[in-house]
Chain A
Amino acid sequence: MLSYILRRVFQSVIVLLVVGLVAFSMFRFVGDPIDNMLGQERTQADIDRLRSDLGLDQPFVVQYAKFLRGAVQGNFGVSYRQGRPVSTIIAERAPATLELAAVSGFLAITLGIGLGVFTAIRRQGFAANAIMTVSLIGVSLPTFLIGILLIYIFSVELDLLPSFGRGETVRIGGWSTGFLTASGLKALILPAITLGLYQMTLIMRLVRSEMLEVLRADYVRFARARGLSDRVVNFRHALKNTLVPVITVTGLQLGSIIAFAIITETVFQWPGVGLLFINAIQFVDIPVMAAYLMLISVMFVSINLIVDLLYYAIDPRLRIDGRTT
């Protein structure tokens, strides 16, 4: 058990070091920072001084170590485009993305499980079939088209909901929240649906197929024979046993929500980290790109690690053959 955990943690650290190397190489090889920081009127003495001030004359490995030390402390340098520390910019933008992701994740899980159970129980019903058909379309539509479609229906035609931005936000300490104002909540609806729809369909289809399998199992038929009510059989006996794969997939999808937030944030001009990243790519703002890359890798690697360890804890079969990773 311990050796398995250690090996997985070790692998994760290796992955992060490699990603760090990629991020660092971006600084090193994509454009010369000296060019970016000094103006037209520079002398060779200026260049040499700045080069040694920034430590650019030191060996590659030393610079990499310095970069890693900075990255661990959350120091990624100064944005080329905005001229402010990257960590400050990201800290400003993070609440928007995290609130959006939390609401979409919540929508995806509750609606996904609810509809999944419903379509499994009423397999032949008209409503269940309609939901399944609609979900098929939901999976094939690209995210940005769903967003545009929602904007067209609810902002252009019905004029009910705002099509861009976060509305009014309230600052609590360093965190700006849109949860406390009416306009903030209204602005959240469309982006949250856009972002959560794909994950919702995924969870719904998974829950449905798992439920259909479990409902055929002997213990469920036995529970029915014992005269237990439908509600108890469906939720206490059947749903509980479908949750292991659902938890795994949901965990892995959490990362995807953050990644797909880039698309949703662009469609709705949502001032989050994803929009920041897209703008950074457009303007080749290397420090912001590198910081985002490191942040998202840490997130993905830790989610994967946790899911793997959870799996190990939940599924006893993995303990016999430790090599299965």
Chain B
Amino acid sequence: MSDVTEKPASDVAQPSRLAQMWDSDFAYAFRHSPVAIVALLVVLVLFLAALFAPWIAPHNPFDPATLNLMNGFTPPGQPNAFTQDTFLLGTDDQGRDVFSTILYGMRISLFVGISAVLLAMVIGVVLGLVAAYVGGWVETLIMRVADVQLTFPAILVAMLIFGIAKGITPPEYRNQMAIWVLIVAIALSDWVQFARVVRGAALVEKNKEYVQAARLIGRGPLPIMFRHILPNVLSPVLVISTISLALAIIAEATLSFLGVGAPPTQPSLGTLIRIGQGFLFSGEWWILFFPAITLLALALSVNLLGDWLRDALNPKLR
């Protein structure tokens, strides 16, 4: 979607693909929504910063060789009393540069959030399509499970899955597995939204003529589900995945904050906030403040983008 914001090349004679996109209703709606533009910019900046963290970050916070304990508790922007080193956002108790830990932490937060949403999307879309197309007891079973799961708050479901998985994995693998367990736990707590929406949309599509035509020429159920119906139910899926991403990022941060998520060896934004909370009373506010603000900016802008996308893709509001 970043292409949309770029100006079309003016020296091309016939309207290029970019120019067509620039003129579409969707792009028009985007250009006239300052909130969406700012939100997308913030998301892009944070996303790129996380992606290129090893090149942007002034220090590698997880390489003990580059750490100097004398640098601990340096306030932001001021030189350290012993080493005269300055750090943009200060350092934590172990002398780690807060700016760098945020960049690396955001990487983990975004990685967990995006993977969890993708996994939830795959599970939800497949189960939703199957429920709508096959019907019968399969549909009843899938939707009944979805209903039951929906009565429990997602964060509680994720916690339980995390707890059970932690019990099953042997202790020596627990730290390595934590990130993957976290992804699966958040995904399994979130697939219901996708399944319900896809089923609803697919039930409508299923009876349309093109599906009947495809059935008449003898295509099997799988190609019809995934080649014919799926492309036509994708736009609500896109909206839900954006909103789910914001929720997944917050869920990850909450779990890590509670100490049942990312381990201290791979701190995400939530883990950093958990660490920073310990220094709230001793006056080192920056260890807590900057990760918290980053988390807020990330979650809020993804959320706003999702809200805008929902309105822009909703034909009823045009």
Contact = CB atoms under 8 A, between A and B. Distances in A.
User: Are A and B subunits of one complex?
Assistant: yes
A289 B161 CA distance: 11
Contact of A142 (B162, B285, B295): B295
B167 A31 contact: yes
Contacts of B281: 155-156, 163
B163 A144 contact: no
A300 B147 CA distance: 13
Interface of A: 15, 18, 22, 26, 29-31, 140-145, 148, 151-152, 155-156, 163, 255-256, 259-260, 262-263, 266-267, 277-278, 280-282, 284, 286, 289, 293, 296-297, 300-301, 304
Contact of B258 (A15, A18, A278): A278
A233 B170 CA distance: 65
A293 B157 CA distance: 10
A144 B260 CA distance: 14
B151 interface: yes
Contact of A284 (B167, B258, B300): B167
| Chain B interface size, under 10 / 10 to 19 / 20 to 34 / 35 or more | 20 to 34
12 contacts: A29-B168, A140-B296, A142-B250, A152-B285, A262-B159, A263-B155, A277-B159, A278-B258, A278-B259, A281-B159, A281-B162, A281-B163
B41 interface: no
A281 B260 contact: yes
- Please report whether the interface of chain B is mostly helix, strand, loop or mixed according to DSSP: helix
Contacts of B253: 142, 144
Contact of A30 (B152, B155, B167): B167
B73 interface: no
Contact of A152 (B257, B280, B299): B280
Given A143-B254, A156-B280, A30 B168 contact: yes
A31 B169 CA distance: 9
A30 B292 contact: no
Contacts of A15: 148
B142 to A, nearest CB: 15
Interface in B261-318: 273, 277, 280-281, 285, 288, 292, 295-296, 299-300, 303
Nearest to A283: B166
Contacts of B163: 280-281, 284, 289
B296 A263 contact: no
Interface in B128-155: 148, 151-153, 155
Contacts of A142: 250, 253-254, 295, 299
B156 interface: yes
Please provide the 3 A-B residue pairs with the shortest distance between their CB atoms, ordered closest to farther: A30-B167, A281-B163, A259-B153
